[in-house]
Structure 1
Amino acid sequence: MPKGRLFVNAKKPPVPVPLLMLVGIVAISFSSIFIKWSSAPASVQGMYRLLFTSLLMLPFARPYTGAAAALRKKDWLLLAVSGAMLALHFLLWMGSLKFTSVASSTMIMALEPVFIMLGAYLLYKERSTSSAILGLAIAIFGVIFIGWGDIGLSADNLKGDLLSLGGTAAVAAHMLIGQKLVARMPAYLYSLIVFISAAAVFAVYNLAAGIPFFDYPSKEWGIFVLLAVVPTVFGHILFNWLLQYASATTVSMNILGEPVGASILAFLLLGEQLTGLQWMGGVLVMGGLVVYLYAGRKKTLGQSEALPNAS
């Protein structure tokens, strides 16, 4: 797995990069659709998605056993915290889809790079350009429009927006921790350990809350598997692999594809409609992120993108 450095491999992949990026965007766009189709608790969906993804990754983990043995106690602690933040992200974001539309939830979640920028400044004192700050302001203004539009629908929609916002903050914390850890360990190993840790956090949560582990129909088990395979393997892990052949900035622009793709799929498969304010807010969020992603934040995003963007 590449570590997200800003380079382009001289060799070409077996399939054209644009086509692979399109496959990845479609794959991650299905994440929210699968979640909407499931009636299982968000914590159960998250637990099995992470567990099944970990099982798919384990057969390829043998080359990383030496790196795992070299990890320090502090590294293991940070890995555990990162896993807890990833679990919190899934719990809040998946939960948000029970209350608000796919479009609103995914547009808000697209603010992840903005949260990373803020966190990088607070934790690592990384400064931003004026263009990046402008993009941040535009995107936040867009979220206000989305929330304003959802208030007109119901209080539950606004609750879903707030859950999505909390989930976005949680995944940004997970990525910022990863930014430090992948500097001294393989990104593949980091992802695997964090996925296992997050699945364990969910297991403890479900056990404490009395949520059943196995009492689900076959349809639900199929959705759990689809969540692990489609948006994770053919989405985020594919994007990681593409960092060998395209710049991190180019790959990072795929974050703009998920809200668009998910909104189209939600319209076609779920019959979800958007209000005028939601459309306006979505355009502002996407526009703000375009400004931000082209504003020279290559260092922060380049180090973070080697990690699966969890949605």
Structure 2
Amino acid sequence: MKDLRSSERTSLPPAAHPVLLIAVVLGGIAAISCASILIRLADAPPLTVAAYRVTLAALVVVPVHFTKNIRNHRQAKTLNARAIRVTLLAGVFLAFHFILWISSLSFTSVASSATLVSTTPIFVAFFSFLFLKAKPSRRLLSAILCTLAGSTVLAGYDGTVSPDAVKGDVLALSGAVMASGYLIAGRFARQYLDISSYTAGAYGTAALVLVPASLITGTPLTGFSHNTYLLLVLIALIPQLIGHTAFNWSLRVLSPTQVSLLILGEPVGATLLAYFVLAESLTLQRFMGLAILAVGILAGASSADSREHGQGT
């Protein structure tokens, strides 16, 4: 992916102000932490939730993209074709990530699902090294191992929640693999596309996968209560439009591994929200897992991983 000339890139700023970056990331973490709770409260099939989530988000960002490019004909003409193809691939990864992860919430607890799907940094680092030859620093690897330990501690209790917990855990881990592809593709595309172009392509593609999938499988898209429709709108607005877009924006200046580590703030917020909203127990073991996760997140977020950045992921 190094063969693209730097002159083909959009005229985006090479870096973001640290305060702005921190604010965007913290806002993204807070937004995605609501996802598990809202999904559990919504009385709708997993595929329906996923389809509504990306479709409603796409209905917001696609018009913004086209309006912006109508005003800026030059930018529209210089959109990188390869980056557009990678963006479409990112949308496919996003669609399958949602199918797998949201399905896991029907079999396992919020804390375990959010934690296991957030093992994404492990897969991001592995695939970045395998396909992009991007070698993470020792500090970043240590952070990944730390977060893995925290995830293991936090998820260890799951057998007492549901007899189908193992199935839910496998679905969540599979969702993590899809999320890693989404982030790696997003990192590359964001070097050449602005945030409106990238989100329009990725969310729009995911919608074009999930809506037909719902129709083909006979999954209902209508007939829900007013409360469920409201929850579906909130899922699209908060975790997707605010949360995902915040992290997609940060991919312009951070590596996919660093972003995936920051996303690990989700199980912390999701577990606390599940305690207050869904009355899921908050044991000493969970506190220990959350504490270990927090250490790994801070270590990964502060790592200056110049080698991974240098690979042009």
TM-score per shorter chain, which class? Answer: 0.7 to 0.9
- The one-letter code sitting in structure 1 at the alignment partner of 2:17 is V
What is residue 125 of structure 1 aligned with on the other side?
133
1:162-209, Cα deviation, whole Å (9 max, x unpaired): 211111110110111122222222232011111011011011211221
1:54 correspondence with 2:63: no
Pairing of 1:218-297 with structure 2 (within 5 A)? 218-238=226-246, 248=254, 252=259, 254-297=262-305
- The one-letter code sitting in structure 1 at the alignment partner of 2:34 is F
Contact 2:265 2:297 in 1 (8 A): no
Pairing of 1:163-178 with structure 2 (within 5 A)? 163-178=171-186
What is residue 94 of structure 1 aligned with on the other side?
102
Partner Cα distance (2:309, 2:56) in 1: 27
**Residue of 206, 213, 220 corresponding to 2:214:** 206
Contact 1:178 1:304 in 2 (8 A): no
What is residue 68 of structure 2 aligned with on the other side?
63
What is residue 185 of structure 1 aligned with on the other side?
193
Q: 1:3 to 1:274 in 2, by over 3 A?
A: farther
Contact 1:147 1:158 in 2 (8 A): no
User: Shift of the alpha carbon at 1:211?
Assistant: 1.3
Contact 1:4 1:248 in 2 (8 A): no
What is residue 84 of structure 1 aligned with on the other side?
92
Task: Indicate the RMSD between aligned Cα atoms, in angstroms.
Answer: 3.4
User: Shift of the alpha carbon at 1:223?
Assistant: 1.2
Identity value in percent: 28
Unmatched tracts of structure 1, length 5 or more? 306-311
TM-score of the two chains, using structure 2 as the length reference: 0.80
Match of 1:188, SS state, is helix
Pairing of 1:40-51 with structure 2 (within 5 A)? 40-51=44-55
294-303 or 109-118, which deviates more:
294-303
Partner Cα distance (2:29, 2:298) in 1: 16
- The one-letter code sitting in structure 2 at the alignment partner of 1:64 is N
**Residue of 13, 17, 20 corresponding to 1:8:** 17
Q: 1:49 to 1:154 in 2, by over 3 A?
A: closer
1:151 correspondence with 2:159: yes
- The one-letter code sitting in structure 2 at the alignment partner of 1:145 is V
Q: 1:189 to 1:257 in 2, by over 3 A?
A: same
TM-score of the two chains, using structure 1 as the length reference: 0.80
What is residue 37 of structure 1 aligned with on the other side?
41
- The one-letter code sitting in structure 1 at the alignment partner of 2:131 is L
Report the number of matched residues: 297
The answer to which structure, 1 or 2, has the higher relative contact order (CA under 8 A, 6+ apart) is 1
**Residue of 32, 47, 54 corresponding to 1:28:** 32
Q: 1:3 to 1:278 in 2, by over 3 A?
A: farther
Unmatched tracts of structure 2, length 5 or more? 1-9
Q: 1:114 to 1:4 in 2, by over 3 A?
A: farther
User: Shift of the alpha carbon at 1:7?
Assistant: 3.5
265-274 or 54-63, which deviates more:
54-63
